[in-house]
Structure 1
């Protein structure tokens, strides 16, 4: 039986924004390696957490050992014997995201994938955790507690457990008879809605009904919500989720519903992503990027259902769901990248593209979240036509590869679909591998709905500008747009339209109004140039609405689709 690994985190000097980490273990072999993960599971890009590490020391019997660095994130030492070892290092924690870590005098928010070392030979050993924090702080970890701190069954469980500490307490809530806790960090200026915790319970319970099981985290689930001046997103874990949301967004008409959708999205990840996982991610390889096309299912299916969870929870209505789904489908129809990048490629290239997007990325890329949600919608409609549903497919996969802790592949999904619609299983290959292969409009019409184009309010130029010290610089030139046909490129500075000075990005739409052709003066690498631009009319976005002329059969199918589960 291997001895537990002892992990000590010292947060007692938050003003330094530095964590002191100490790890003690007994090696099992004389060649000892250890590494800091290069990425955070759930966020598929190499983040090189090691950039924040310094003052590393490996000690045996009180004496420092000369370790050898094998890679930026990995070290090696050949031991003379198997005496216990202590590894000490410092980590700067100045990045408040759900994937990294922050420590300051107000609170600590740490993703332990950015903190803890993976010791060779100890990955599947128990890890005991002790945290030293300021006296007036409470420490929260979604792990089993011990007399001195917390216990993680293995390294995976350790780094999957976000740490939060500060002068705040957890609020209890219940889901399907299971005890959960809510950490609220920050308060909106207008205060929290009086039914907030009740609505969270309803959304989480609706998620359980969707999957047909109680929450797999049981009585140990922690929901952390950081309310900031700006920010949006979340990161899922086996027994928790960490969310960021802005109080200004919360104040908008649809802000509260978006927050409930985000909560539902991350809560659903307990099943889909954390336990029902693409085969390439079982187990995780913390030392390198792991390519998988399964992210479209992991995130796209979850994004599709998070739109409907407020309705299933009784916190929304059918017209509102259509509005939200319409916005998602519109974003796909309006994306030039849909004609370039397939959904499977979007997932495989997440490490180098989605998480490192530039303003120009939309012209050659499509998000597997949004296109994945559109594919989920089309799958759902086709399955509804056969008396089945996408929710039922998700439940079937959960009962198979999910509960059995096996990874899934495309073949598993096709095998689940094929008994209901053999053609759909074949079509799925095209939807995943071929750009613009998705029959989106056909599926919308099958439900007695329609997508209506909304025209642009101003002439279309295809340029995205940014303001910089009194100058308007081109950030993006949309593919096949008037701007591209005029020869303008990213980095050009717009100086004048028909002789009128352009000083800010908002000037452009005014100067193009009611113009069929304009003379553009611009600068490229300090050289003055001129061109002619012919603005277009075009579509601003699409809306999803009822089709008053639909048939009884279409209405009946739509009603079944609205049942969600």
Structure 2
């Protein structure tokens, strides 16, 4: 009986898989009203069997951006037909529509998507172009994520170009294929009149699609972006792509990026390319997102794929996926010649300073910060965020730096974090799955030849102070810390100007924290001096304004009293602050002229990778 039951189950599974394999899914996206920010989506499902209905779902988030965005909120006009006749549909959950096909073999579904959020993560459409972040545009039939699909784009008006990482269908203009929905959702699409140029690096053709104009030099970008590609490929030992697409949105003020399997979307300032500092920051963004081609898309935490598109996908390893990538963007820009040694070291020191001067770093570990990405205050700002949270980007970059130096020192300059990343990439490729935290730690220990248990307890799952002098000492670099504002008082209160001075943040354990100043308190006067007089010499707008920056405060001494008259919930109140020393620190670095051979070997392996 057991043998027959198993055999019967296998037959049933085979029949089910065959039925799903016969399903054909296609999309057509057009733009009747781009000026109103709408995409028209037609979804065709053929080869339907089984129940008298099919459920189609809209993802609630997009991989790489760990926030439930509820894309279904932008869908309207959902309807369906079978054989040319309207059929019944109903919404059965926040992101699920049930289509009753009544045993029809094929259905046509139509819906509209409103797209008017400017970011690299979300769709945006206007009369100049359409950017389709695929997870917010395309629905999938329940249980059919592994089904192939095709996408036809119907450009609007004078739009004549489509840029995407999707594979084109031969002989069909603006038509593309995805082997499954993971590929489709991981492939953004730019439609319009974008400026396109190409370069080849690491044996791979790269397309750059520039939207929004700008003062960029295409020939210079071809050379400089190729250098980044070569440096990244050198770490991992191969470039796994046949082609790669950069979609760059140039705006008045732009930034940010989102990685995809064989493409990325970058935000940039259209006038920033001529500024040396801004240009290097852009190349750093290129380096960051390109490194994700390996780290997170292929060398990935085990929780990040296959994806659940309806719920949060939790991992404690974003400090590796994002933090190490932030660290490597400085490595690549240094190795490619866009930063000198001093700038590279300064970038590392800057990350350490950010962590040590953030009160939340004493509360929130790198692993916990990663797990809590879904409630990350970077996406959902909170006035208390700095007191409770440390970014897995910044803390992860610091952990990567310390780990890198520890490995180089333990191996006497023979190995570095580069070797760990390469080995983990090939391990994931061989096993065809992501890694666990334990597996990553085991590889670090294998490469270094030493235990990292204490290191993990301090810097990954713990919140220990960073032993910066020890680790930089491995590379023959002296680092000392001093008070950020010697002999100057600090209140710990940040401000915004909104018809007066409004408290916008209070740092943990600061004078403002201990003496009861609250966020949203409106300051009327300081030591009897009205706000108008207090603000007379302050330049506005100033998004980084703090109470300490006001001359009436900065001229006082540590231990002095500061009397604030405030309004809280419509009631006047007087609060006295006792000024304390600024707890923040700053660093001084010095590269040793008399470094030992070991220190020089560590420094070379750490910085040069060889």
TM-score, length of structure 1 as denominator length: 0.94
- Distance in 2 between the 1:164 and 1:453 partners? 49
- Distance in 1 between the 2:437 and 2:272 partners? 37
The equivalent of 2:467 in structure 1 is 439
The equivalent of 1:564 in structure 2 is 609
The correspondence for 1:211, drawn from 236, 239, 242, is 236
The equivalent of 1:153 in structure 2 is 179
Which stretch of the first structure deviates more once superposed, 511-520 or 523-532? 511-520
C-alpha deviation, 1:437, in angstroms: 5.6
Point out where structure 2 has 5 or more consecutive residues left out of the alignment.
Answer: 1-20, 536-544
SS of the aligned residue for 1:136 comes to coil
The correspondence for 2:491, drawn from 461, 469, 479, is 461
SS of the aligned residue for 1:89 comes to strand
Say yes or no: does 1:47 pair with 2:69. Answer: yes
C-alpha deviation, 1:452, in angstroms: 3.4
SS of the aligned residue for 2:402 comes to helix
Superimposed CA distance per residue, residues 212-258 of structure 1 (whole angstroms, 9 cap, x where no aligned partner): 21x2122x210111122223210001110000022465565522111
SS of the aligned residue for 2:580 comes to coil
The correspondence for 1:235, drawn from 241, 258, 269, is 258
4+ residue stretches of structure 1 with deviation over 6 A? Answer: none
- Distance in 2 between the 1:187 and 1:133 partners? 20
C-alpha deviation, 1:451, in angstroms: 4.1
- Distance in 1 between the 2:275 and 2:574 partners? 42
C-alpha deviation, 1:268, in angstroms: 0.8
The correspondence for 1:5, drawn from 7, 25, 43, is 25
1:88-107 alignment to 2 at 5 Å? 88-107=110-129
- Distance in 2 between the 1:367 and 1:506 partners? 22
1:161-560 alignment to 2 at 5 Å? 161-188=187-214, 190-192=215-217, 195-213=220-238, 215-218=239-242, 220-247=243-270, 250=273, 253-354=276-377, 355-387=379-411, 388-419=415-446, 420-436=448-464, 438-449=466-477, 450-453=479-482, 455-456=484-485, 459-468=489-498, 470-503=499-532, 509-515=550-556, 516-538=560-582, 542-543=586-587, 545-548=589-592, 551-552=595-596, 553-560=598-605
- Distance in 2 between the 1:317 and 1:408 partners? 34
Superimposed CA distance per residue, residues 237-282 of structure 1 (whole angstroms, 9 cap, x where no aligned partner): 1110000022465565522111111101101111111112211122
Superimposed CA distance per residue, residues 136-188 of structure 1 (whole angstroms, 9 cap, x where no aligned partner): 21122221111331111111111111111111232011111221111112333
SS of the aligned residue for 1:305 comes to helix
Asked if 1 retains the 8 angstrom alpha-carbon contact of 2:356 and 2:465, the reply is: no
SS of the aligned residue for 2:490 comes to coil
Asked if 2 retains the 8 angstrom alpha-carbon contact of 1:461 and 1:483, the reply is: yes
- Distance in 2 between the 1:78 and 1:333 partners? 58
SS of the aligned residue for 1:182 comes to strand
Point out where structure 1 has 5 or more consecutive residues left out of the alignment.
Answer: none
The equivalent of 1:14 in structure 2 is 34
Which stretch of the first structure deviates more once superposed, 246-255 or 89-98? 246-255
The correspondence for 1:29, drawn from 50, 53, 70, is 50
Superimposed CA distance per residue, residues 510-551 of structure 1 (whole angstroms, 9 cap, x where no aligned partner): 110222221111110011111111233326552452254764
- Distance in 1 between the 2:139 and 2:218 partners? 41
Asked if 2 retains the 8 angstrom alpha-carbon contact of 1:375 and 1:438, the reply is: no
- Distance in 2 between the 1:18 and 1:526 partners? 44
- Distance in 1 between the 2:586 and 2:276 partners? 20
SS of the aligned residue for 1:223 comes to strand
C-alpha deviation, 1:14, in angstroms: 1.5
Asked if 2 retains the 8 angstrom alpha-carbon contact of 1:464 and 1:475, the reply is: yes
Q: CA RMSD in A?
A: 2.1
Give the total of aligned pairs.
561
TM-score, length of structure 2 as denominator length: 0.88
Change beyond 3 A, Cα 1:446–1:512: same
Asked if 2 retains the 8 angstrom alpha-carbon contact of 1:127 and 1:155, the reply is: yes
- Distance in 2 between the 1:259 and 1:467 partners? 31
SS of the aligned residue for 1:280 comes to coil
- Distance in 2 between the 1:394 and 1:531 partners? 53
Larger Rg: 2
